[in-house]
Chain A
Amino acid sequence: MKPRLITLFLVVAALGAVAMWLRQDYWVDHMSRMSGQKDLSHVTCFNCHMVSTAKLRWAQPRPHHDAPAGLAVSPDGKIIYIALDDRDQIAAADAVSQKVLRRVKVAGRPFGLALDAAGQKLFVTCRDADRLAILDTQTLKETASIGVGMAPVAVAYCRTSAGERLIVANSMADNISVLSVSPLREIGRPSAGREPFDVTVNPDGTRAFVVNRMAWLASVKTVPAAEVTEIDPVTARTIGRDPLASAHLSESIGIVPSRSWVLNPLVKVRNLVPITQVANGWVMSSGFAVTDTRTCKVIQLPLDEANNYYADPSGMAVAPDGKRAFIASGGSDVVSVVDLDKVSAWLAAASVSTKEEAINDMSLSPEYVIARIPTQRNPRQLLISPDGGTLYVAERLQDSILLVDTKTLTTKGRIMLGDGGLNDPIRRGERVFTTAAYTFQHQFSCRSCHPDGHVDGLSYDFDTSGIGDNLLDNRSLLGVAGTEPFKWNGKNPSLEVQCGPRFAKVLMRTDPIPPKELRDLTTFIKSQPPQRVARRHDGKLTPAQERGKAIFFATKTSAGVEIPHGKRCSSCHRPPLYTVRLSFDVGTGGPFDTPHLLGVANTAPYLHDGRALSLEEIWTLYSTNDTHGVTSYMNKEQLNDLVEFLKTL
């Protein structure tokens, strides 16, 4: 026998002997004491021990795909630039031959694209590197780079009276970088709404419009609202904030200069209505907002039809002549064509109250939606050629770009970037995750509440009776692998149960997702790593974070008083997942499942019903008197340090 095996045998034998010597009473006492549970039927050694993230699906290597993200087209319309964020590449394709000409490496997950007026500089936001890169379009070599806010996802270029400007949406920093091009520097970083996601600028460069994907943080019982942020590109000052009432998940924005309109697709969300009302179409619908830039008045119009929804409206493009707008519905594999003359005529004829209620009128969209163009899987970003003749549709989960003739609204061809990745169960699972095919009337997909697998920042009413009786905070799916059981009550043992029969019964109101697709779906979810967190570039903790870490793992208060095991942060939020996967009462009406803390900084609101709008509020307002760990000994600085550490997880 090899020495290692002998050692292992001896260790096991010794442990067994010790275990027998200690007897059952010891183990019951140990498990009860360490887990804090009276009922040990759900407790095993593996709640605390032998937990490793290294073996989790999200920590394993995975295939990468040619999924198109941002698009840009040269001024002459001949070259299409495509960001392939999953490959860390930028591709240049010939618009006529529909072939990819070149690919170049751009580090940091290139996502958003824009060109300068002459088409000589390609501006690339690198989502995972928090930077903007400039590529020479002749050589496709990177010529410059500048740091911006966290997770930049979109960039717009404009000429202003003060020179060339770039407006960058920093999605995880909730702010906007305004850059001058020559010299390349940041002029200012005004605050956005929550998760700014796309940018457009009016033709004279006097106003930039930034659409935000998530609603503002607010009390769980208030109607959520996202916003369109208006920025002065010259000064980088904020000049307006237009609320989108009861709407969120806007991922693109377009300007109609001829009408002084700004358009953005949106999800009309009614999260305070009981989720049982999905069957009535009352919970979620798709539409778009028309903002009059002169009056800042916003009218929301539906995109859906009474019995057929067009879920997850994502990309938007407006024809150069301002006659038509195109909206991609990523969950329904459709591009809707909106006749803006008809929208204008309807708006002119409608009364104020009719316009206010328009978004709820499921019979309205035929008034202005003149066509639905089918696409392949998951159309996201849209782009129109400078002459307005061709619409480019990024079919993200098909690895292709669809070309549509904007006059005939027929397909002109496709730029193939990859094979669609159907051999990869993760990619297949993402297709399931993003499709609305399995929900009643195709109202929504998994992504409708979990954009990019994360959260939409809302609480939903999961009760069957009264309105607002059982609000439950939406939880991120990022890094969720290995943290079962699921649901806030900890009753669902696996993702397969959570996403299968339970999802069908409570949410989809249709048949469950078929077994094979369900397997792929759960594979995809398990492969999603935790949300990226802001850390210093050298990876070290700041002094405040180090102090917070010491508090998190403290076994004694500042005064040296022993903190009972079950009242320590790290007892229930035990590394490496920062959960022991058991339920506890933290003074909020529990017991509730212990959420993992990986990426917790970006998952507000907090607690089971989302009542805490910030991490601080957990301890200052809701779990006071040491009901959520012993925390009352902490002064304000210590609480701040603890929060700073939590932001690093």
Chain B
Amino acid sequence: MKTIYKLTATLVAMGEILCFCGAVPIGAAQSSTNNLPFPLIERFENFGAKDGLPTHKVHCVLRASDGKLWVGTYGGALFRDNGKFHLISTNDGLSHRMVMCMVEDKRTGDMWLGTMRGLNRYSAGRITTYTQTDSGLPNNVVYGLDIMDDTLWVATAAGLGALNLKTGSWSIYDQNNTVMHEPWVYSVTGAKDRVFVGVWGGGILEYEPASGIFKEHRDPDRDFHFDLAPDDGPVSDITSWVAWEDGVLWQATYFGMSRYDGSRWRTWQETKSPLPSNFVNFIWPHGRVAWVGTDCGLSTTDGNIWVNYRTDEHGDGIMEIARPGQPMETRKMTTALPNNFVLGIWVDDREAWLATSDGLAHAFLSPTQSATKVAVDQ
């Protein structure tokens, strides 16, 4: 098996050499024949301490609308400008070094950073902090953020906070004033006229600000570990992340993942699908394709076809393609994820950035098919 891998790697390397010579590259040839509804990752470029990251653990990543890459790590936030990382730390006024989530207010360019101790607004170099003692922030542990119109939604360890960006007023939604059973809110995502809230142990809350109505989505079988009746609702109530795009809500849990299109649910667990692990940290939807961060690597899926990326025990990059009714296709990559524990993802048509437990990865996508085009076509 090792010999086959080495042979494949040699062929890929030769293809890349040929590419520079103007010949048809092997990677491109593979991509063009994949016939997949979303692009493949061709290679990874990894960043760590040598590149200026303050710690190996990276929690979140996103590319802002001005093109700057923002990275949240255990040792502060960074932005990448002209190829160099610039650190924003507690010395600069950040409320805590551990940056767990980020969201950009695209209208103003302000970056909101959630940490283990408070919320921060980075605006043109100035940091304003919000903590549970100096503001209406429900709790200092900020797991998730999203902005919808004039409201910043903040998922905290003690409820959901809503900051009106025009008036500065805070509202708190928790077990005291909603149907929320647990106060640990891990994630929040705006969805046009409503907000979906991922509650640890409480499933998903759907909130319509206009009517003030909360609706609860709970795992019907109430079993944490097993999805006794697939596709009947959220796969589990232990929600670790929610994300919404293009009319579809995705739920990450530590016992599988789910998709909800407004009327139907679909669920996946590792034993019944190509999902590499039930331990799902994060989902980034791009069009109708989900980019899934797990403890066993990265997955991309439209719900039917799966492509999983992981680093094997030798440090080699492995790509697995699972098509319905076909055996799993395994390919060896020339580069690998820095770590299989994927905590954060940002994707557009051209590239992906991955936050892992051991560094940051830049994933270059095959140019043959864009995710958006696929979504439109479908």
How near does chain A come to B229, taking the closest CB pair, in angstroms? 37
Q: Are B110 and A190 interface neighbours, CB within 8 A?
A: yes
455-510 of chain A: CB within 8 A of chain B = none
Give A632 Cβ to nearest chain B Cβ, in Å: 14
Q: A635-B176, A637-B177 are in contact. Are A617 and B169 (CB under 8 A)?
A: no
Q: Is the CB of B158 within 8 A of A636?
A: yes
A175 interface residue (CB < 8 Å to B): yes
Say yes or no: B110 contacts A238, CB within 8 Å: yes
Q: Within the assembled complex, what's the spacing in Å between the Cα atoms of A640 and B128?
A: 19
Given contacts A191-B123, A241-B125, A616-B136, contact A637 B108 (CB under 8 A): no
B108, A613: Cβ atoms closer than 8 Å: no
Report yes or no: B108 in contact with A191, Cβ–Cβ below 8 A: yes
Kindly identify which residue among A173, A190, A236, A640 contacts B170, using a CB–CB cutoff of 8 Å: A640
Asked if B135 contacts A637 (CB within 8 A), the reply is no
Q: Is there contact, CB below 8 Å, between B108 and A237?
A: yes
The answer, yes or no, to whether A544 is at the interface (CB within 8 Å) is yes
CB of B212, distance to nearest CB on chain A (Å): 10
Is residue B336 contacting chain A, with contact meaning CB distance below 8 A? no
Partner of B108, one of A190, A534, A640: A190
- What is the CB-to-nearest-CB distance from B123 to chain A, in angstroms, rounded to a whole number? 5
Chain A contacts for B132, CB-based, 8 A: 620, 636
A636 x B133 contact (CB < 8 A): no
- In A211-253, the 8 Å CB interface with B consists of 216, 227, 229-230, 235-241
A196 to chain B, nearest CB (A): 14
| Contact assessment for B109 and A614 in the assembled complex, using a CB-CB cutoff below 8 Å | no
Contact pick for B134, options A187, A216, A238, A620, CB 8 Å? A620
Do A173 and B124 form a contact, CB below 8 Å, given A188-B108, A636-B132? no
Q: Is A239 touching B108 in the complex (CB atoms < 8 A)?
A: no
Q: Is the CB of B107 closer than 8 A to any CB of chain A?
A: yes
Q: Is the CB of B133 within 8 A of A621?
A: yes
**Does A149 reach chain B (CB closer than 8 Å)?**
yes
A643 in the interface (beta carbon within 8 A): yes
* Contact in complex: B110, A617 (CB < 8 Å): no
Chain A residues with Cβ below 8 Å from B169 are 544, 644, 647
CB distance from A612 to the nearest CB of B (A): 8
A304 vs chain B, min Cβ distance (A): 29
- Interface pair B110/A191, CB less than 8 Å apart: yes
Instruction: State the Cβ distance, A176 to closest chain B Cβ, in Å.
Output: 10
A239-B109 in contact (CB<8A): yes
Known contacts A236-B107, A636-B138; decide if A241 and B133 are in contact (CB<8 Å).
no
**B129-178, CB < 8 A from A:** 132-136, 138-139, 158-159, 165-167, 169-172, 174, 176-177
A241 touches B107 (CB 8 A): no
- Cross-chain contact A534 with B124 (CB below 8 angstroms): no
Interface presence of B126 (CB below 8 A)? yes
- A640–B172 touching, CB < 8 Å: yes
In residues 189-212 of chain A, which contact B (Cβ within 8 Å)? 189-191
Smallest CB separation, B125 vs chain A (Å): 6
Alpha-carbon distance A640/B133, docked complex (angstroms): 11
- For A637, give its contact among B109, B123, B124, B172 (CB under 8 Å): B172
Smallest beta-carbon distance A561→chain B, Å = 19
- Chain B hits for A636, CB < 8 A: 132, 136, 138-139, 158-159, 172
Contact partners of A239 in chain B: CB under 8 A? 109, 124
Contact bitstring A611-649, B, C-beta under 8 A = 1, else 0: 001101100110000000000000111011001100100
Q: How far is the CA of A636 from the CA of B136 in the complex (A)?
A: 8
Name the residue on B nearest A647 (C-beta). B169
Checking A230, A237, A643 against B136 with a beta-carbon cut-off of 8 angstroms, the contacting residue is A643
Q: 1/0 contact trace for B93-128 toward A, CB 8 Å? A: 000000000000001111000000000010111101
Q: Which residues of B are found within 8 Å of A617, using beta-carbon distances?
A: 133-134
Which residues does chain A contribute within 8 Å of B174, judged by CB atoms? 637
Is B123 a contact partner of A238 (Cβ separation < 8 A)?
A: yes
* Number of B interface residues in the complex (CB < 8 A): 30
In chain B, what residue has the closest Cβ to A190? B108
How far, in whole Å, are A240 and B109 apart by their CA atoms in the complex? 11
Chain A positions within 8 Å of B159 at CB level = 636
B134 pairs with A614, CB closer than 8 A: yes
A352→B354 CA distance, assembly (Å):
44
Residue pair B135, A616 in contact (C-beta under 8 Å): yes
- For A238, give the chain B residue with the smallest CB separation: B124
In the complex, chain A residues whose CB is within 8 Å of the CB of B158: 636
Which chain B residues border A643 with CB–CB below 8 Å? 136
Q: A236-B108, A614-B134 are in contact. Are A175 and B124 (CB under 8 A)?
A: no
Q: Residue of B at shortest CB range from A239?
A: B124
Measured in the bound complex, the distance between the Cα atoms of B127 and A227 in whole Å is 13
A186 to B172, CA, bound (A): 28
Q: Is the CB of A238 within 8 A of B177?
A: no
Instruction: State the CA gap A644–B171 with chains docked (Å).
Output: 10
Q: How far is the CB of B259 from chain A (nearest CB, A)?
A: 33
Given contact pairs A236-B107, A238-B108, A175 touches B166 in the complex (Cβ within 8 A):
yes
Cβ contact within 8 Å between A149 and B176? no
Q: Is the CB of A188 within 8 A of B107?
A: yes
Contact A189 B134 (CB under 8 A): no
A-facing residues in B343-378 (Cβ within 8 Å): none
- Chain B min CB distance to A170 (Å): 10
B138: chain A residues within 8 A (beta carbon): 636
Determine whether the beta carbon of A238 is less than 8 Å from that of B135: no
Nearest B residue (CB) for A188: B107
Question: Taking CB as reference atom, which chain B residue is nearest A534?
Answer: B167
Contact digits for B172-215, partner A, Cβ 8 Å, 1 yes 0 no: 10101100000000000000000000000000000000000000
Contact code string A147-191 (vs B, CB < 8 Å = 1, else 0):
001000000000000000000000001010000000000011111
Residues of A near B134 (CB, < 8 A) are: 613-614, 616-617, 620-621
Q: Which of A239, A613, A636 has the most CB of B within 10 A?
A: A636
A644 to B66 CA separation, bound complex (whole angstroms): 35
Contact of A237 among B107, B121, B176 (CB under 8 A): B107
Contact A640 B123 (CB under 8 A): no
Chain B residues whose CB sits within 8 angstroms of the CB of A238 once the complex forms: 108-110, 123-124
State A216–B126 Cα separation when bound (angstroms): 11
Are A640 and B109 neighbours in the complex by a CB distance under 8 Å?
Answer: no
Tell me the bound Cα distance from A640 to B172 in angstroms: 8
Q: Complex formed: what's the CA distance from A613 to B170 in Å?
A: 17
B109 cross-chain contacts in A, Cβ below 8 A: 190, 235, 237-239
A621 CB to nearest B CB, Å: 5
What is the CA–CA distance of A173 and B167 in the complex, to the nearest angstrom?
7
Nearest residue (CB) in B for A635 is B176
Inside 8 A of A187's CB, which chain B residues have their CB? 107
Q: How far is the CA of A544 from the CA of B125 in the complex (A)?
A: 33
Residues of A within 8 A of B66 (CB): 237
Task: Report the nearest A residue to B109, measured CB to CB.
Answer: A237
Q: Chain A residue with minimal CB distance to B125?
A: A241
Most buried by A among B108, B126, B169, B176: B108
Q: Do B167 and A637 have beta carbons less than 8 Å apart?
A: no
B173 CB → nearest A CB, Å: 9
Contacts of A635 in B (CB 8 A): 176
What are the interface flags for B18-45 relative to A under an 8 Å C-beta threshold, 1 for contact and 0 otherwise?
A: 0000000000000000000000000000
Q: Which residues of A contact B139 (CB under 8 A)?
A: 636
Residue from the set A188, A216, A238 with the largest chain B CB neighbour count within 10 Å: A238
Q: How far is the CA of A644 from the CA of B164 in the complex (A)?
A: 12
Least Cβ–Cβ distance between A566 and chain B, in angstroms: 25
Which of A189, A230, A616 contacts B124 (CB under 8 A)? A230
Closest chain-B Cβ to A208's Cβ sits at a distance in Å of 13
> How far is it, in angstroms, between the C-alpha of A452 and the C-alpha of B126 when the chains are bound?
28
Chain A: minimal CB distance from B365 (Å): 28
Tell me which of A188, A544, A637 has the highest count of chain B C-beta atoms within 10 A of its own C-beta: A637
Q: Please indicate the chain A residues that have their CB under 8 angstroms from the CB of B107 in the complex.
A: 187-190, 236-237
Q: List 6 A-B contacts (CB under 8 A).
A: A191-B128, A613-B134, A620-B132, A636-B158, A636-B159, A637-B176
Q: Given A237-B107, A544-B171, list of 6 further CB < 8 A pairs?
A: A189-B165, A190-B123, A614-B135, A636-B138, A640-B170, A640-B171
The 8 closest A-B pairs by CB, nearest first: A620-B133, A237-B109, A190-B108, A640-B136, A238-B124, A188-B107, A241-B124, A614-B134
